[in-house]
Amino acid sequence: MKNHNDLYKYEHALIKEGYKLIAGVDEVGRGPLAAGVLACACILDLDQEIEGINDSKKLSEKKRLSMRQLIEEKAIAYAYGYCDESEIDDLNIYQASKLAMIRAVNALKVKPDYLLIDAMSLDMGIPETSIIKGDALSVSIGAASILAKVKRDQLMEEYDVIYPGYGFSKHKGYPTKYHLQQLRKLKPCPIHRKSYKPVRDLYLKQLQLDLEEDND
């Protein structure tokens, strides 16, 4: 198990260099077939250490919700950025993820003087460090990953009400067996990513059927 103090090593090193407002930045939603990618930028008050922060994927939903509350109470600032499914289709998922992160940083009410980013370089004119698997190595990135995951999960629960039948509240848009089954049965809905293969194949199939019908 990772030592609690290890998660603060990047932040403590930066504080020694004179940085004060260190934002962790992470995103969630690269893999789903539906809805957008959601990023969070979070500046923690490093004088108020929080036990239990980790990569959001390693925490239960119940634990994420309780950690979200703690983080929101103790953070100096946090903000979200979003790129919807149409932007993902236009830009590609890498560029959309980067844009969502930039939007999150720009939305912060306090401007950070350093960015710790999960496996991405943002080139915003703010000093930065990109950390592979940063959500499990930096407390700031871990906090951002938890906030982003909870926020996006809530969004998918709302979409489940708007577009029933796909099971969005359960799989959150990821390509589970049930999601793929319902996608074939119900056809893509407006929030499905047209550039992702399972969805694209269905659109192309429908287009071919429409053309054949027109030619009859």
Output the CA torsion 183→196→119→126 (10° steps).
-110
**Band of the pLDDT at 209, cuts 50, 70, 90?**
low
β-pairing verdict for 22-28 and 128-131:
unpaired
**Band of the pLDDT at 16, cuts 50, 70, 90?**
very high
69-118: pLDDT as tens digits: 999 999 999 999 999 999 999 999 999 999 999 999 999 999 999 999 99
Binding-site positions for a divalent metal cation: 26-27, 118
- H or E stretch covering 75: strand 75-83
Domain boundaries, given as residue ranges, for the chain = 4-162, 175-215
- H or E stretch covering 79: strand 75-83
Binding-site positions: 26-27, 118
151-161: pLDDT as tens digits: 999 999 999 99
Residues in the chain: 216
Query: In this predicted structure, what is the pLDDT of residue 143?
Result: 96
3-state SS, residue 147: helix
Query: In this predicted structure, what is the pLDDT of residue 214?
Result: 64
- Read off the pLDDT of each residue in 108-137 and give the average, rounded to a whole number: 97
- Read off the pLDDT of each residue in 169-198 and give the average, rounded to a whole number: 95
3-state SS, residue 25: strand
Pick the CATH number of 4-162 from 1.20.144.10, 1.10.150.120, 3.30.420.10, 3.30.2350.10: 3.30.420.10
Residue 91: half-sphere exposure toward Cβ, Cα within 13 Å: 17
3-state SS, residue 82: strand
